Amino acid sequence: SFNRFSFNTKFIFVKYGGKILNDPTSYGNDIYMSTGNFAELNSISASIIGSGRPDDYNIKMYQGNLTTVNYQSISVSYLLSKKTNLKCKIEVLNRFFKDEDEEINSQVFNFGIMTDLFNNYYDY
């Protein structure tokens, strides 16, 4: 019957200043990148500005390599068993990544069988 179907859509838009190619300065989007030694290289006391941070003031939005990511997905699932919450799911997603160096467009089609055996929610 129709009430066993569920539909889900997701749209995500992201815009940030990313890493500039061959630039050791960390603009904050890569948590694994070293903050380097910006203060030492520019003869600034580390007590005035944190080591590796390019600036404490005059920060501009999207500083670095301007990057946009668009993500869209749509999925349809059908409930096979109410007792075990067993579902069959089909999903299509598209991800578009663009920065000053490259442009990547990816499409993924996936399907699967899933269940929520322990559907417990605890609100405190």
Predicted confidence (pLDDT) per residue in 94-123, tens digit: 999 999 999 999 999 999 999 977 767 777
pLDDT over threshold 70, residue 58: no
* Domain extent at residue 7: 1-16+75-124
For position 97, what pLDDT does the model report?
A: 97
Q: What is the pTM of this model?
A: 0.68
In a domain, 32, yes or no: yes
Place of tokens 């501009």: 60
Same domain, 27 and 54: yes
Query: Which residues have CB under 8 Å from 4's CB, separation 6+?
Result: 78, 79
Nearest to 26, CA basis, from 63, 57, 58, 61: 63
Confidence band for 20, pLDDT divided at 50, 70 and 90: confident
pLDDT over threshold 70, residue 86: yes
Confidence band for 70, pLDDT divided at 50, 70 and 90: very high
Say how many domains are in the chain.
Answer: 2
In a domain, 106, yes or no: yes
